Amino acid sequence: MLKSVLPITISNDEELKEFIILNSEYISTVLDSVDKNSTLENELKLQKEKNRKLEDEKREIVKSAEKERARLKELANLSEKKHGDHSMYKGEFEEKNREQFLSEYFGKRFTICGDKRMRCMDIRMTNILKKYIIGIECKHKKSIANSDITKFKRDKLTNKFKGCIFLSIGCAIGNILQEVNSCKIVNDEFYIYSNDEKYIYMAIEIFIGYLESESTENKISIKYYVDHIQAMHKNWEDTKAFILKQDRYMVNSIEKLRKLGVNINTRGHLYITSKNNCKSKKAPY
């Protein structure tokens, strides 16, 4: 307790010093109490902020889970319908699959939107930083009609897209693309014929680089190397198929010789096949 009588009157520094000396224990107690209260208040504020963040995260998780459930339910419904002959359901099913695929591969750089809109293409990719939009038309049909290409070009002109992609899953694109796993840049239009996600991802990355390039010379070079790589890829696939055929013929001939009593050691032979086919000690073909 204070040793002085309230109210306290201090007229000079000497009286202040005397007051502090006489009441040092009480003053220390009061100051400690103030410090503890301040610390507790700060800890309480921090805990409230942590709780708020946890609640926000919880709401986001619930929101994402509900969105994912709705997406899976929609995919399940479309999956049941797509087995019919009508291409509309097949198209919707593939659109949703492609929307999910694009979100997984490009979601950190682009906002992916597959909401149904008139004359806005099936999917729109909006660059988060640069704000430009790429329109994507997805087709899963037995054949691409001229009207499909016409609509694609019309939607491109109707919207302020930086570039547009025409993606065909199951058939050639008129006289533009005939070979599966192929693509072609035509100014600000990009045509892809593939159902291989890795190929589609690689192709779209190339097109993004093409669109973002401000150099006309670089754009010409990108188009050249796309065509060059595709030609080389086709030649390589044809070569691999030929080599595989020859290797199978040779290995089968060796096996027939063994059955006839000829001892031939094939240890170290390099088989032209996938890793999955080489798990056992037997020849993969």
59 to 56, 71, 205: CA distances (angstroms): 5, 18, 33
**Rg over CA atoms, the chain:** 35
CB under 8 Å to 277, separation ≥6 — which residues?
A: 271, 284, 285
* Nearest of 179, 189, 169, 171 to residue 233 by alpha carbon: 179
The model's confidence at residue 92, banded by pLDDT at 50, 70 and 90, is low
* Nearest of 82, 167, 154, 67 to residue 118 by alpha carbon: 154
* pTM of the entire predicted model: 0.59
According to the model, what pLDDT value does residue 79 have?
59
Burial 31-45 (b: 16+ CB within 10 A, else e): eeeeeeeeeeeeeee
Measure the CA–CA gap between 82 and 90, rounded to whole angstroms.
5
* Nearest of 123, 180, 218 to residue 191 by alpha carbon: 180
Burial 97-133 (b: 16+ CB within 10 A, else e): bbbbbbbebbeeebebebeeeeebbbbbbebeeeebb
Bigger pLDDT: 82 vs 141: 141
Mean pLDDT, range 123-151, rounded to an integer: 92
132 to 64, 126, 207: CA distances (angstroms): 26, 6, 13
Bigger pLDDT: 85 vs 243: 243
Measure the CA–CA gap between 199 and 179, rounded to whole angstroms.
13
pLDDT over threshold 90, residue 75: no
Per-residue tokens: 52: 């708020």
Mean pLDDT of the chain: 82
* Nearest of 120, 119, 129, 98 to residue 208 by alpha carbon: 129
DSSP H helices in the chain:
13-22, 24-81, 87-106, 146-158, 197-212, 216-259
Domain boundaries of the chain, sorted by first residue: 68-212, 217-285
Identify whether 284 is preceded by a cis peptide bond (ω within 30 of 0).
no
176 to 146, 171, 172, 186, 193: CA distances (angstroms): 11, 12, 8, 10, 10
Q: Of all residues in the chain, what percent carry a pLDDT higher than 90?
A: 27
User: Would you put residue 95 in left (φ > 0), alpha (ψ -120 to 50) or beta?
Assistant: alpha
pLDDT over threshold 80, residue 130: yes
CB under 8 Å to 1, separation ≥6 — which residues?
A: 26
pLDDT over threshold 60, residue 276: yes
Measure the CA–CA gap between 248 and 210, rounded to whole angstroms.
42
Level-2 CATH architecture, domain 68-212:
3-Layer(aba) Sandwich (3.40)
Residue bearing tokens 């533009």:
176
According to the model, what pLDDT value does residue 248 have?
85
pLDDT tens digit sequence for 176-211: 999 888 999 998 999 999 988 888 999 999 999 999
The model's confidence at residue 148, banded by pLDDT at 50, 70 and 90, is very high
Per-residue tokens: 2: 């204070």
According to the model, what pLDDT value does residue 266 have?
73
